[in-house]
Structure 1
Amino acid sequence: MLIIPEDVCAQVVTPEAAFTAVEGVFAAMARGDARNFPVVREALGHADALYGFKSGFDKVGMALGVKSGGFWPGNMARGLTNHQSTIFLFDPDTGQLQALVGGNYLTAIRTAAASSVSIAHLARPDAKVLGMVGAGHQSTFQLRAAVKQRAFEKVLAWNPHPEMLPKLAAVAAELGLPFEAVDREALGAAADVIITITSAFEPLMMRDWIKPGTHVACMGTDTKGKQEVDANLLAAASVFTDEVAQSISIGEAQHAIATGLIREGDITPIGAVINGTQKGRTNADQITVFDGTGVGLQDLAVAHVAMRAAQERGLGSRATL
């Protein structure tokens, strides 16, 4: 068994490698070559934490495994990231444990890769203004990944805790992009692409604030009850997702589905767009929404990249059970 700690993951898995891995596994899912297993996600009743398991099998990439972890909201005060997880990879031929992989960096980079894939396939080619809703740990990964897909000229941002915005502003400056903190309505009126990456349980962006032609990547809703945008926005948009089953049960679409604003058949897997079997954006005024629920196969895909790269470079450590 290979043990791959967080620092090695950060060393060997680039944003470009994560994009390729996530795009590929979304395509495999849409073809029926990869399958996510049912998610277990529960409140612990301790430390206000959510804890669970995501797992699956990609028979093309031969990735089999499980991610165990969750969200501890008090971790930031302890100098830790709120999301904590570990990924276990197994040999599909024998069931033996292949690798134990740190999951914190990989969770952030695969989440950013998913929104980046959605921007690549759904945003207008001439998108110039990027709007960021949320300024937590994962927001910087989102920003770095997004700018690789379009020639953005400006970043607008809002966060419920404004004191967290300077960290995002610093990354924008590093990328050579002007940065402005604005209110949510102004962000919606100006942004061509909006990424929401929060842990909200109420809509932060309303339908009437979003201009025609906007692409919205909702990346924070991954649990029953969470919500980042107005359900009416999904009713007005063309909706895409990583996996429909999660979208309607624990994703952003759960609220529009529950109120009858949209039906399951109104949601398109992004993998079908990647494969060319379904259409993505069809005109410049169309609002597109990507419901990024975060599937286990994303974690396995980037963990497999980490395992292969670590093996090639002689990194990580070996252990036996």
Structure 2
Amino acid sequence: MWVVPEKEIAGLMTAEAAFDAVESVFAAMADGKAYNFPVVREAIGHEDALYGFKGGFDGAALNMGLKAGGYWPNNQKHGLINHQSTVFLFDPDTGRVSAAVGGNLLTALRTAAASSVSIKHLAPKDAKVLGMIGAGHQSAFQMRAASKAGKFERVLGWNPHPDMLGRLEETAAEIGLPFEAVDLDRLGSEADVIISITSAFEPLLKDGHVKGPTHIAAMGTDTKGKQELDPALVARARLFTDEVAQSTSIGEFQHAAGQGLIKDADVTPIGKVITGAHEGRGDAEVTIFDGTGVGLQDLAVAAAVVDLARDQGKAVEVEI
């Protein structure tokens, strides 16, 4: 089997490669050539940690495997980030393990790639203002990826803890865009594209905040109870996601669905837009992409990084 250590990922995987891998796997899902396995996610009763597995099989790319890992909120005392994961790939012809890949940076890259895919296919024409809700670890990845998917001229930012907004300002400067910290009223009325990437358990962006043609990539909700958007906002938008059943059960759309404001049939897999089976934005004023995160995304970027690592001599071969 091939091992690609976490320390090698930054020098191998680019935002562009992650975008291509995620866009392709979303299309394969829409075509029925790839499917995700049921997600396992459990509170283990130790260190307040959540641990689980996401896996699947992509018959188009012949990728099979799983990501194992989760969230350890006390990892600062160990000098580690809170999200920890490893991706395991298996040979679909024999079932033998073929690779183990550090999954921490890959998770951030594939999450950012998913929102940037949605921006490419769903953002209003000539979108110029990017709004960022959230200034945590993944926000920088999100902004960098978004800047490659759209032609933005400025960035607006809001965070529940304003002292963290420096991360957004620094990232905007890095990609050459002016940044302004604003309230949610201004962000919702001025931003053409909004990315929310928080761990909130209550709606932050309200229906009344959002005015005019807008695309929202809701990327923070992946667990029962989490919530970033007002259900009334969800109810008036045209809705897209990575996987419908996951979105309405543990994703951002769980709340609107639970209140009877939407049903599964109101949510379209984004892969159908990529393949041309759905018109996408059409005449909708507001579109929302609920990025819940699926195992196939992890397999796609892991398989791509294994190929890059082998080509560059950075993969370690281990007999198991």
**TM-score interval, normalised by the smaller of the two chains:** over 0.9
2:235 corresponding residue in structure 1: 235
Q: Deviations over 1:227-280 (max 9, x none)?
A: 111111110100000010111111101111110000110000000000001110
DSSP-derived class of the 1:99 partner: strand
Q: Deviations over 1:15-72 (max 9, x none)?
A: 0010000000000000000000000111222222221100000011110000011112
Structural mapping, 1:1-321, within 5 Å: 1-76=1-76, 78-283=78-283, 286-321=285-320
Sequence identity of aligned pairs in percent? 63
Maintained 8 Å contact 1:23/1:114 = yes
DSSP-derived class of the 1:18 partner: helix
Take 1:184 and 1:241, find their aligned partners in 2: how far apart are those partners?
24
Distance 1:124 1:302, change over 3 A: same
Take 1:164 and 1:312, find their aligned partners in 2: how far apart are those partners?
39
Distance 1:76 1:158, change over 3 A: farther
Maintained 8 Å contact 1:84/1:104 = yes
What amino acid maps onto 1:171 in structure 2? Answer: T
> How many residues in Structure 1 have an aligned counterpart in Structure 2?
320
Which stretch of the first structure deviates more once superposed, 126-135 or 7-16? 7-16
DSSP-derived class of the 1:177 partner: coil
DSSP-derived class of the 1:86 partner: strand
DSSP-derived class of the 1:202 partner: strand
TM-score scaled by length of structure 1? 0.97
DSSP-derived class of the 1:100 partner: strand
DSSP-derived class of the 1:148 partner: helix
Gaps of 5+ in 1: none
Take 1:280 and 1:59, find their aligned partners in 2: how far apart are those partners?
25
Take 1:8 and 1:80, find their aligned partners in 2: how far apart are those partners?
17
CA apart distance, 1:10 = 1.6
Take 1:157 and 1:198, find their aligned partners in 2: how far apart are those partners?
13
Maintained 8 Å contact 1:125/1:150 = no
Take 1:319 and 1:232, find their aligned partners in 2: how far apart are those partners?
53
What RMSD, in angstroms, separates the aligned Cα atoms of the two structures?
A: 1.1
What amino acid maps onto 1:103 in structure 2? Answer: G
Q: Deviations over 1:114-144 (max 9, x none)?
A: 0000000000121111111111111000000
CA apart distance, 1:78 = 4.5
Take 2:78 and 2:100, find their aligned partners in 1: how far apart are those partners?
25
Q: Deviations over 1:68-105 (max 9, x none)?
A: 11112233465422211000000001111111100001
Take 2:159 and 2:285, find their aligned partners in 1: how far apart are those partners?
26
CA apart distance, 1:165 = 1.3
Maintained 8 Å contact 2:129/2:154 = yes
Maintained 8 Å contact 1:238/1:288 = yes
Maintained 8 Å contact 2:189/2:212 = no
| Over 4 Å off, 4+ runs | none
Take 2:78 and 2:155, find their aligned partners in 1: how far apart are those partners?
30
Which stretch of the first structure deviates more once superposed, 166-175 or 30-39? 166-175
Which stretch of the first structure deviates more once superposed, 79-88 or 286-295? 79-88
Take 1:296 and 1:147, find their aligned partners in 2: how far apart are those partners?
25
Which stretch of the first structure deviates more once superposed, 107-116 or 169-178? 169-178
Which stretch of the first structure deviates more once superposed, 180-189 or 292-301? 180-189
Take 2:198 and 2:163, find their aligned partners in 1: how far apart are those partners?
15
Maintained 8 Å contact 2:87/2:103 = yes
Distance 1:2 1:151, change over 3 A: same
DSSP-derived class of the 1:240 partner: strand
DSSP-derived class of the 1:141 partner: helix
Take 2:280 and 2:242, find their aligned partners in 1: how far apart are those partners?
13
Take 1:234 and 1:31, find their aligned partners in 2: how far apart are those partners?
26
What amino acid maps onto 2:31 in structure 1? Answer: R
Gaps of 5+ in 2: none
Which stretch of the first structure deviates more once superposed, 73-82 or 219-228? 73-82
Take 2:112 and 2:75, find their aligned partners in 1: how far apart are those partners?
21
Take 1:286 and 1:13, find their aligned partners in 2: how far apart are those partners?
35
Take 1:126 and 1:149, find their aligned partners in 2: how far apart are those partners?
12
Distance 1:77 1:180, change over 3 A: farther
